[in-house]
Amino acid sequence: MNHKPIIAANWKMYKTPQEGQEFAAGLVERTPNLQGVEFILAPSATALTSVHAALEGSSVGLAGQNMYHAKEGAFTGENSAAMLQASGCEWVLIGHSERRHVFNEPNEDLRKKVAAALEAGLKVILCIGEKLEQREAGDTKAVIEAQLKNDLADVNRFDPDKIMIAYEPVWAIGTGVVATPEQAGEAHADVRTVLSGLFDAEVAAAVRILYGGSVKSANAKELILTQGIDGFLIGGASLILDEYCKIAEIAQMEASQ
Ligand code: PGA
């Protein structure tokens, strides 16, 4: 692994501004012992500014969980890239499985969101992954390929410092069923193959690919040791500071071996 492992937290619809701020302050206190990993927190939109304030002066990154592609307008309930940036975000998650499958986000929107985020200067964590029936039908690679092709269609130059991929098999998210290191490693290799075709071999080698789906301290070691896994996007286990930091410690220790 050329980079520090990325330990990203997706808090989904959990934590008030106050709860987020307390977690972030606690994390900042612990970061001196966790310099070997890169942290990114993705709180809900309402907690961004309080978490940002608590992270001030630290190296912990801040991400929005979603955004809309328009710059502004009559889009009730949505936030623009500029709004996320003004709330302290450097990153945004796009295409999380809950956005795709619970809220039925259209492919067209996903593609526009990626382009709009990059144009505004936000860095993107693009989430992709197959459903259980797609895996069982042997379609995992085809699904990954179709998602990457669609979502990155308006990206002319893929800058690996500005776009990360999170491979999150839908069947592993929030289920307690984690992908095996073999399954995750194979999917990550597929992502690199697809990106090599869409862009070039340098992009495929340099892109950081996170694994997400029921990551916890009990399974972090074997996953982070898997070839091609550059870090984690963690939901449930990221809500508890001790558990989140334990995963970071494991990643830090294994990356330094
Ligand atoms: P989980 O969620 O860790 O709770 O499975 C991961 C995600 O949705 O990013």
Is residue 96 flagged as an active site residue? yes
Model confidence, pTM: 0.97
pLDDT at 1 over 80: no
| pLDDT tens, position by position, 123-177 | 999 999 999 999 999 999 999 999 999 999 999 999 999 999 999 999 999 999 9
| pLDDT tens, position by position, 170-203 | 999 999 999 999 999 999 999 999 999 999 999 9
Whether the Cβ atoms of residue 252 and residue 225 lie closer than 8 Å to each other: no
pLDDT at 9 over 70: yes
Mean pLDDT of the chain: 97
- What lies within 8 Å, CB to CB, of 227 at 6+ separation is 185, 188, 189
The pLDDT value recorded for residue 256 is 85
Q: What are phi and psi of 167, to 5 degrees?
A: -85, 115
Q: Does ligand 1 have an atom closer than 6 angstroms to the CB of 173?
A: yes
Whether the Cβ atoms of residue 91 and residue 121 lie closer than 8 Å to each other: no
* Beta bridge mates, 61: 40
Mean pLDDT of 23-51: 98
Mean pLDDT of 6-20: 98
Q: Cα–Cα–Cα angle for 85, 86, 92, nearest 5°?
A: 25
* Beta bridge mates, 166: 127, 210
pLDDT at 211 over 90: yes
The pLDDT value recorded for residue 159 is 98
CA distance linking residue 25 with residue 47, whole number of Å: 13
The pLDDT value recorded for residue 2 is 61
Residue 187 exposure: Cα atoms within 13 Å on the Cβ side: 30
Q: What are phi and psi of 55, to 5 degrees?
A: -90, -5
Task: Please tell me whether residue 106 adopts helix, strand or coil conformation.
Answer: coil
Mean pLDDT of 118-124: 98
In this prediction, residue 257 has a pLDDT band, given cuts at 50, 70 and 90, of confident
Between the two ends of the chain, the Cα-to-Cα distance in Å is: 11
Q: Does ligand 1 have an atom closer than 6 angstroms to the CB of 233?
A: yes
Q: Does ligand 1 have an atom closer than 6 angstroms to the CB of 8?
A: no
Measured in Å, residue 236 CA sits from the centre of ligand 1 at 6
Instruction: Report the percent of the chain where pLDDT is more than 90.
Output: 98
Q: Judging by beta carbons within 10 Å of its beta carbon (0-12, 13-18, 19+), is residue 13 exposed, middle or buried? A: exposed
Is residue 69 flagged as an active site residue? no
The number of the ligand 1 atom at minimal distance from the alpha carbon of 175 is 5
CA distance linking residue 15 with residue 21, whole number of Å: 9
